[in-house]
Amino acid sequence: MPRVLFLVAVNKGNVMCGIVGYIGWREASPLLLKGLKRLEYRGYDSAGIALLNGSVLTVMKQKGSVSGLETDTCVERASMQGATAGIGHTRWATHGEPSDRNAHPHENAAGDLAVIHNGIIENYSALKQELLTEGYLFLSETDSEVLVHLIDWIWSRETSLNLESATRQALRHVEGAYGLCVVSSREPDKIVVARKGSPLVIGIGEGEFFIASDAAPIVEHTKKVVYLADGELAVVTREGYCVKSIENIEQEKIVTELDFSLEKIEKGGFEHFMLKEIFEQPEVMHDVMRGRVRLGEGRVCLGGIADYLDRLKQAKRITICACGTSWHAALLGEYLIEEFARIPVEVDYASEFRYRNPIVGSDDVVIVISQSGETADTLAALRTAKEKGALVMGICNVVGSTIARETQCGMYTHAGPEIGVASTKAFTAQVTMLYMLALSLSKDKSISQSEIALHLRELSEIPEKAARILQLDSQIQSIAERFKDAKNFLYLGRGYNFPVALEGALKLKEISYIHAEGYPAAEMKHGPIALIDEDMPVIIIATHDSTYSKILSNIEEVRSRKGRVIAIASEGDTEVSRLAEEVIYIPQASGPITPLLTVIPLQLLAYHIATLRGCNVDRPRNLAKSVTVE
């Protein structure tokens, strides 16, 4: 299948969490547990199942892996023998830490209705307020729990409704993304499922049906599947399935034959997790902004720091600590916060900060950035800063991670689990987050309201521009073919694209084992220029911004020493192609936002060079995804 088709498939999906469902003639619980294990590659922090046995609905869920759930439910499973319908979920937390009570399924108070959900309900707090006034009690901190109470409330007010119509009506009140399964012991022979922005597949067996968030748990049982489209709701029984639009109009569905191996499905059809994660970036950027960028109001709403916003704005200085790729995001954070909020920012390697007795006090804010939330040096920097009285804020991807728990305030990037060791989507998620943070810290005197609105509009257009860059994949692959045997690479960028040059070089060395250095383009003449000869590929980021004319001069300098220039330029540029051997054109964007675009071709270039050299890109030698040693 061509790669661009995968892009479409992945773009529609919210990659967090996994869903399985079964209704048929076999015992449901072992099928559900096995299916959940097949989904654990998506990341997990808790798991749960709901089984329907006649008029009895039983929910079992807990923090931790599916294996833990399996062991713990052995006894109960014995008593549930005979349940031939049920739903299951592995959670990758977005709202609320990983815990037993935040695990899915969520139940209503009567215990006769259960819901599992992938995605993010954007208006959950407004819905929750309404349901609280109606007397509903919430047991979890998740956005998903509102769904079960909302369906229950609607169903209880109109007795003419059934599970399907009550779910349909409830979904009309919901904003955000969902892949949803609903079961009730009041109608025990059906599973109601619905999709908007988070994938769902129905597998068709002989007198049995499977439901899942992707085909991985289904493929061993049946190859025949039906993919739900956004805005569709289906009722699945032992006799068949009926798909309707949310407006209750029956939909004709095409049955697709799966020809995928399990491994391919886990990787969404991509060769490697790294490539899949690179291609997920448009959707991830969208998810980071979801519910936070309020275009209509021209402002950013960051719930995780709302109570600390004044203190953050009044900070005398902000220090950002991180490691690896997160440190490169931190450098961009420095540029963005200084530009928009006019607060002085310093960036430290977490490992240096913690050992150099830094001058930090109660007027300071320290931001720690970490994908995993577990990096030992970053955690130690956080603790040092806290001891010295600073306000410590976190930007993490993994919900409930140690860093997320120990910071006083912070935000999650919602990038979904990142499995490739070389970080890609986590980086663009962090930079998107920092862009929003910088704008929300701005004061009236530093930037006008209308300028903020313009920046937010441009940010909201970035996912679509990023998707266009991904379509250049085959061009980048052919560039990789030509340069794959080089021994060294130099990456140059100015201003906002200097940290991108560092990140591009890091990606290449991490996964291809080629020596690569990132440099501020102007610094080239203070050293690296001595290395340039006809064997040295030089990647130069030369997009249209305030440093453009200077970077053209840098390209000339490299060319006159016979260096081989691969340039990243803005669409419509005519100058760069005169000077560079290869040019990758990316959509126009203003300076502060370009890193979200310029980094993507560099990720793809590193990926293709590494695979052409036969390297294991998902598990590069000597590296770990999460470095928990000092």
Instruction: Determine contact, residues 539/501, Cβ cutoff 8 Å.
Output: yes
- Cβ closer to ligand G6P: 142 or 428? 428
**Sequence-ordered strand ranges (E) for 456-559:** 488-493, 515-520, 537-542
Q: What angle do CA 56, 58, 59 make, to 5 degrees?
A: 155
Beta bridge pairs of residue 202: 211, 226
Kindly tell me which of 423 and 547 has the beta carbon lying closer to ligand G6P.
423
- Nearest approach in angstroms of CB 128 to ligand G6P is 31
Q: How many degrees, rounded to 5, is the angle at CA 122 between CA 117 and CA 125?
A: 95
Token pair listed for 506: 């890091």
Angular region, 231: left φ>0, alpha ψ -120 to 50, beta rest:
left
The closest residue (CB) to ligand G6P is 324
Segment contacting ligand G6P by CB under 6 A, of 31-39, 227-235, 416-424, 552-560: 416-424
Distance CA 518, CA 551 (A): 15
Nearer to ligand G6P, 323 or 332 (CB): 323
223 is annotated as an active-site residue: no
Q: Which of the residues 420 through 439 are near ligand G6P (CB under 6 A)?
A: 421-423
Nearest residue (CB) to ligand G6P, 3 versus 625: 625
Of 375, 547, 570, 611, the residue at the interface with ligand G6P (CB under 6 A) is 375
Stretch that binds ligand G6P, among 46-54, 110-118, 126-134, 321-329 (CB under 6 A): 321-329
Q: How far is the CB of 284 from ligand G6P (least distance, A)?
A: 15
What mask of x and - would describe binding to ligand G6P in positions 354 to 373, judged by CB under 6 A? ----------------xxx-
Closest CB to ligand G6P among 56 and 627?
627
Residue span binding ligand G6P (CB under 6 A) among the ranges 47-55, 320-328, 567-575, 591-599: 320-328
- Residue 88: in which H helix or E strand, if any? strand 85-91
Closest separation in Å from C-beta 422 to ligand G6P: 6
Of 17, 321, 396, 615, which residue is the catalytic one?
Answer: 17
Q: Which residue has the tokens 């052995």?
A: 74
Least distance between ligand G6P and beta carbon 220 (Å): 33
Active-site entry in 223, 253, 386, 625: 625
CB 362 within 8 A of CB 401: no
CB < 8 Å & 24+ apart, contacts of 299-304: 299/440, 299/452, 299/453, 299/456, 300/436, 300/439, 300/440, 300/452, 300/456, 302/411, 302/436, 302/437, 302/440, 304/409, 304/410, 304/411, 304/412
85 bridge partner residues: 23, 52
Our CB check for ligand G6P shows the closer of 234 and 396 to be: 396
Contacts of 523 (CB under 8 A, 6+ apart): none
What is d(CA 495, CA 319) in angstroms, rounded to the nearest whole number?
19
Q: Where are the beta strands (DSSP E) in 163-316?
A: 178-184, 187-196, 201-204, 209-212, 224-227, 232-236, 241-245, 256-257, 293-294, 299-300
Cβ neighbours for 622, distance < 8 A, ≥ 6 positions apart:
none
How far apart are the two ends of the chain, measured CA to CA in Å? 44
Q: How far is the CB of 2 from ligand G6P (least distance, A)?
A: 29
Distance CA 48, CA 59 (A): 7
| Burial of 160 per CB tally in 10 Å (0-12, 13-18, 19+) | exposed
Q: How many residues bind ligand G6P (CB under 6 A)?
A: 16
Task: Give me the least distance between CB of 188 and ligand G6P, in Å please.
Answer: 44
Quick one: 384 or 442, whose CB is closer to ligand G6P? 384
Choice between 295 and 624, CB closer to ligand G6P: 624
Q: Is 628 in the site for ligand G6P (CB under 6 A)?
A: no
Work out whether 378 is an interface residue with ligand G6P (CB under 6 A): yes
198 versus 402: smaller Cβ distance to ligand G6P: 402
**Residue of the chain from 49, 93, 200, 323 that contacts ligand G6P (CB under 6 A):** 323
Whether 486 contacts 536, CB under 8 Å: yes
Instruction: Please report, as a single letter, which amino acid is at residue 75.
Output: V
Q: Is 627 in the site for ligand G6P (CB under 6 A)?
A: yes
The binder of ligand G6P chosen from 62, 477, 590, 626 (CB under 6 A): 626
What minimum distance in Å lies between the beta carbon of 415 and ligand G6P?
11
Shortest gap between Cβ of 93 and ligand G6P (angstroms)? 16
**386 or 561, CB closer to ligand G6P?**
386
CB of 369 to ligand G6P, least distance (A): 7
Which residue in the set 324, 463, 504, 537 belongs to the binding site for ligand G6P (CB under 6 A)?
A: 324
Instruction: Work out how close the CB of 393 gets to ligand G6P at its nearest, in angstroms, rounded to a whole number.
Output: 15
Q: In what order do the strands lie in the sheet with 537-542?
A: 515-520, 488-493, 537-542, 564-570, 582-586
Nearest residue to 29 via CA among 60, 51, 4, 58: 51
Contact positions with ligand G6P (CB under 6 A) in 167-196 = none
Tokens 């012991």 — which residue?
A: 185
Among positions 121-160, residues that touch ligand G6P (CB under 6 A) are none
52 belongs to the binding site for ligand G6P (CB under 6 A): no
Minimum CB distance to ligand G6P, residue 619 (Å): 11
Q: Over the Cα atoms of the chain, what is R_g?
A: 25
Q: Where are the alpha helices (DSSP H) in 137-261?
A: 145-157, 163-171
Look at the block and give the residue holding tokens 């956005």.
Answer: 143
Residue number with CB closer to ligand G6P (323 or 437): 323
Q: Taking CB under 6 A as the rule, does residue 401 contact ligand G6P?
A: no
Concerning whether 625 is annotated as a catalytic residue, the answer is yes
Q: Tell the smallest beta-carbon distance from residue 625 to ligand G6P (Å).
A: 6
E strand or H helix that includes residue 10: helix 3-11
Q: Which stretch binds ligand G6P (CB under 6 A): 219-227, 419-427, 431-439, 571-579?
A: 419-427
Q: Which one of 44-52, 317-325, 454-462, 463-471 is the stretch in contact with ligand G6P (CB under 6 A)?
A: 317-325
Q: In Å, how far are 79, 88, 118, 162, 358 from 104, measured between CA atoms? A: 21, 8, 10, 22, 43
The reply on whether position 251 binds ligand G6P by CB under 6 A is: no
Cβ pair 282, 310 in contact under 8 A = no
- Measured from the CB atom, the residue of 11 and 325 that comes closer to ligand G6P is 325
| Residue 326 contacts ligand G6P per CB under 6 A | yes
Span from 203-211, 251-259, 324-332, 462-470 in contact with ligand G6P (CB under 6 A): 324-332
Binding site for ligand G6P (CB under 6 A): 323-326, 370-372, 375, 378, 421-423, 623, 625-627
Catalytic residue numbers read 17, 625
